Amino acid sequence: MKAVALDRDWTFRRGFLDSLSMLENTPGIQVNLPHDGMIGTPVSADAPAGVDMGYFCGGVSNYTKSVFFPKEWENECVGLQFDGAMMNATVDVNGSKVALWHNGYMPFYCDLTDCVTFGEENRITVNLNTSMQPNSRWYTGSGLYRGVTLLHGPRVHIVPDGIFAYTKEVSDVCAFLETLVEVQNAGLGNRLAEVTVSFVREGSDETVAETRRVIQVCACATETARMAVHIQNPMLWDADHPNLYRVKATVRDLGAYRTHFVPDDNETLDEAEVLFGIRTVTADAVRGLLINGKCVKLKGGCLHHDNGLLGAVTLTRIEERKIRKLKEVGFNAIRTAHNPPSAALIEACDRIGMYVFDEAFDAWSMGKRAGDYNQFFASDWERDLTAFIKRDRTHPSVIMWSTGNEIPERGGLGGGYARSTRLAAHIRSLDGTRPISNGICSFWSGLDDTLAKGQNQSQNASDDAASTLWERGTEPFTNGMDVVGYNYLEDLYEQDHEMFPERVILGSENFPKEIGFRWPLVERLPYVIGDFTWTAWDYLGEAGIGKAVYSDPEDPNAPTRPWELMPQETSPYPWRTANDADFDILGRMLPQGAYRSVVWGSRQTFLYTMHPDTYGKTELVSMWGFPAVQSCWNYAGAEGAPVELVVFSGAEEVEVLVNGVSIGRKKVSTERPLPHSVRFDTVYQPGTVVAVSYQDGQEISRDVLETTGAPAGIRLIPECTDVRADGHDLIYVAIEIVDREGRIVPDAAVSLEADADGVCTLAGFGSGNPVTEEDYTDMTTVTYRGRAMAILRAGYEEGACRLRVRADGIGAAEETFTAGTPG
Cβ–Cβ under 8 Å, residues 785 and 736: no
CA distances from 217 to 94, 153, 181, 214, 268 (A): 32, 16, 12, 10, 14
Q: What is the dihedral of CA 564, 570, 576, 578, to 10 degrees?
A: -10
Find out whether the peptide bond into 134 is cis, omega within 30 degrees of 0.
yes
Closest to 479 in 3D by CA, of 417, 410, 434, 541: 417
Helix 591-599 × helix 316-329 angle, to 10°: 50
Provide the CB-side half-sphere exposure for 530 (13 A, CA).
30
The per-residue pLDDT for range 793-815, each reduced to its tens digit, is: 999 999 999 999 999 999 999 99
CA-to-CA distance for 620 and 607, rounded, in angstroms? Answer: 21
Q: In Å, how far are 179, 349, 438, 760, 794 from 724, measured between CA atoms? A: 34, 21, 40, 11, 7
Which amino acid, residue 359? E
The string of DSSP letters for 396-414 reads TTEEEEEEEES-GGGGSGG
pLDDT over 90 at 270, yes or no? yes
**Residue 466: band (very low, low, confident or very high) from pLDDT cuts 50, 70, 90:** confident
Q: What pLDDT does 823 receive? A: 67
Report the percent of the chain where pLDDT is more than 90.
96
Q: Where are the beta strands (DSSP E) in 475-601?
A: 484-487, 505-510, 528-533, 548-551
Angle in degrees, 0-180, between the axes of helices 343-352 and 316-329, rounded to the nearest 10: 40
Tell me which DSSP letter residue 563 carries.
Answer: G
Q: Whose CA is closest to 763, among 796, 732, 738, 726? A: 732
Flag the least confident range among 47-56, 451-460, 520-529, 804-813: 451-460
Pair type for strands 722-724 and 811-820: parallel
Mean pLDDT value of segment 85-101: 97
pLDDT given at position 102: 98
For the cut 70, the answer to whether the pLDDT of residue 569 exceeds it is: yes
- 344-349: average pLDDT: 98
- Please enumerate in sequence order all residues whose Cβ is within 8 A of that of 39, keeping only pairs 6 or more positions apart, or say none: 56, 141, 310, 311, 312, 313, 776, 777
Is the pLDDT reported for residue 688 higher than 80?
yes
Q: Are 646 and 627 in contact (CB under 8 A)?
A: yes
Mean pLDDT for the stretch of residues 17-46: 94
464 pLDDT above the threshold of 80: no
pLDDT of 465:
67
Is the pLDDT score of 265 beyond 90?
no
Question: What pLDDT, on a 0 to 100 scale, did the predictor assign at position 786?
Answer: 98
**H/E segment holding residue 326:** helix 316-329
Q: Which of 123, 133, 136 is nearest to 91 (CA)?
A: 123
First vs last C-alpha separation in the chain: 22
Confidence of residue 131 (pLDDT cuts 50, 70, 90): very high
Tell me the β-bridge partners of 100. 90
Measured from the Cβ of residue 520, the count of other Cβ atoms closer than 10 Å reads 12
Per-residue pLDDT reduced to its tens digit, 276-306: 999 999 999 999 999 999 999 999 999 999 9
Across residues 590-602, what is the average pLDDT? 98
The helix/strand/coil state of 322 is: helix
Range 37-59 average pLDDT: 97
- Helix (H) / strand (E) containing 754: strand 751-758
**82 with 5: CB under 8 angstroms?**
no
* pLDDT tens string 304-331: 999 999 999 999 999 999 999 999 999 9
How far apart CA 78 and CA 462 sit, in angstroms, is: 52
Rounded average pLDDT over 343-357: 98
Question: Taking Cα atoms as reference points, which of 253, 78, 81, 93 lies closest to residue 152?
Answer: 78
pTM for this prediction: 0.97
pLDDT higher than threshold 80 for residue 457: no
Q: What pLDDT is attached to residue 455?
A: 77
pLDDT at 681 over 70: yes
pLDDT category at 467 given cuts 50, 70, 90 is confident
Per-residue pLDDT, 460? 67
What pLDDT was estimated at residue 192? Answer: 98
Average pLDDT value for the chain? 97
The pLDDT, as a whole number, for residue 605 is: 98
Distance CA 754, CA 759 (A): 16
